[in-house]
Amino acid sequence: MGGVTMLEGVLYEPKRVISDGRGAVLHHLRLDDPCFVGFGEVYCSIVPKGVVRAWKLHKVIFQRMIVPAGAVRFVLYDPREKSSTKGQQQEAVLSREKHALFGIPPGIWYGFEGLGPGDSIIVNCTSGPHDPAEVERLPIINDAIPYLWK
């Protein structure tokens, strides 16, 4: 990711794109991928340009995301006591042009911003089904995460 500090356990893996005059296939995740940690559900998030959705932390679930349309900036913060990257932040931009699999392990705060043009799409394959009791949330501005969205 070009000089970006990767938080412990975070995955950034460029993925294959097969394209021709009829369209494109953007690879996401396979059962035999080394980073596959289980299947809970797959869902899409639509993020309008300029909209920020933050902050969220999964206690148990692993996430494996791609951005097949538009562009999205992800910001992560590591509060984990036993992590070698405790207290550090990470930013990553995913897009159709920078097609990659982005994996967030449990215990990391994250948020994202739609960079456009127009609506962007995040496809997320999680290791477990959504459970509101498994998720923690913070407001965009808080005392726990030292990051200000631009």
pLDDT tens column, 108-141: 999 999 999 999 999 999 999 999 999 999 999 9
Q: How far apart are CA 109 and CA 89, in angstroms?
A: 9
User: Is residue 145 situated within a structural domain?
Assistant: no
Q: What is the pLDDT of residues 27-85, one digit of tens each?
A: 898 889 888 888 999 999 999 999 999 999 999 999 999 999 999 999 999 999 999 99
Inside any domain, residue 92: yes
Q: How confident is the model at residue 5 (pLDDT cuts 50, 70, 90)?
A: low
Q: Closest by alpha carbon to 121, among 87, 139, 103, 94? A: 94
> Domain of 78: which CATH number?
2.60.120.10
Is residue 5 situated within a structural domain?
A: no
Assigned domain for 133 exists: yes
Q: How many CB atoms lie within 10 A of CB 31?
A: 6
The total number of structural domains in the chain stands at 1
